[in-house]
Homo-oligomer: A and B are copies of this chain.
Amino acid sequence: MIKRKGILFVLSGPSGVGKGTVKEALLETMDDICLSISATTRKPRSNEVQSKDYFFVDLKEFQEMISKDQLLEWAQVYSNWYGTPRDYVLDHLQKGCDVLLEIDIQGAMQVKNKMSDAVFIFLAPPDLDELARRLCSRGEDSQESIDLRLATCEAEMAHIKYYNYVVENNHVKEALEKVRSIIQAERCSVNNIIVG
């Protein structure tokens, strides 16, 4: 009696907030949502599979995807380019499958311009002190880089108003439950159902 459209869920938030961890936990516990696959100009690592881990393309192909508006968002990270192919996402949505995209805030803002009916979830740090502790304990970043990230995070919090939901990542388990609830609720949203 009630059918529904596929929904694009964009999980985003400041660097270091734990997006990747929540995403992994989500995919482990939900088998009815699929992960968006990025295109990249980066060379595949030995364990990476074409069209599964990434769509590996060369720079010319990547630039062609940009010029043909085939990417929902893209960014250059050092000498490599990364982007989200539009067709992969649209094909899955059309089939009624939900798609999860884990992405930084700049990327999410690009996606919002092209897919305004996607559901945007902002994963927020409990507070900046806690984020600083996490970045330090990760041990990947210099103090200068950590200071920059904290300042960026503070600025990025101003983007919350462009999102549909905010989930504070105090504990991964609780954040996971909240994101799962959001996915479940959106599947019941009148915006996403087709009464027939």
- Are A193 and B166 in touch, CB under 8 angstroms? yes
Known: A2-B168, A182-B185, A185-B185. A190 touches B160 (CB 8 A): yes
Residues from chain B with a CB closer than 8 A to the CB of A127 are 1
Main secondary structure of the interface of A (DSSP, over half): mixed
Residues from chain B with a CB closer than 8 A to the CB of A188 are 121, 165-167, 178, 181-182
A58 within 8 A of B: no
A37 within 8 A of B: no
A124 within 8 A of B: yes
Among candidates B121, B163, B164, B184, residue contacting A178 with C-beta atoms closer than 8 Å: B184
Q: Which residue from chain B places its CB closest to the CB of A189 in the assembled complex? A: B165
A186 within 8 A of B: yes
Among candidates B124, B177, B189, residue contacting A184 with C-beta atoms closer than 8 Å: B177
- Are B1 and A126 in touch, CB under 8 angstroms? yes
| Distance, CA A50 to CA B91, complexed state (A) | 58
| Distance, CA A188 to CA B160, complexed state (A) | 12
| Distance, CA A180 to CA B185, complexed state (A) | 9
Whole-angstrom distance from the CB of A5 to the nearest CB of chain B?
13
Within 8 A of B (CB), among A137-196: 157, 160-161, 163-168, 177-178, 180-182, 184-186, 188-190, 193, 195
Residue among A121, A164, A165, A168 having the largest count of chain B Cβ atoms under 10 Å: A165
- Are A164 and B182 in touch, CB under 8 angstroms? no
Whole-angstrom distance from the CB of A109 to the nearest CB of chain B?
15
| Distance, CA A127 to CA B185, complexed state (A) | 21
Known: A188-B165, A188-B167. A195 touches B160 (CB 8 A): yes
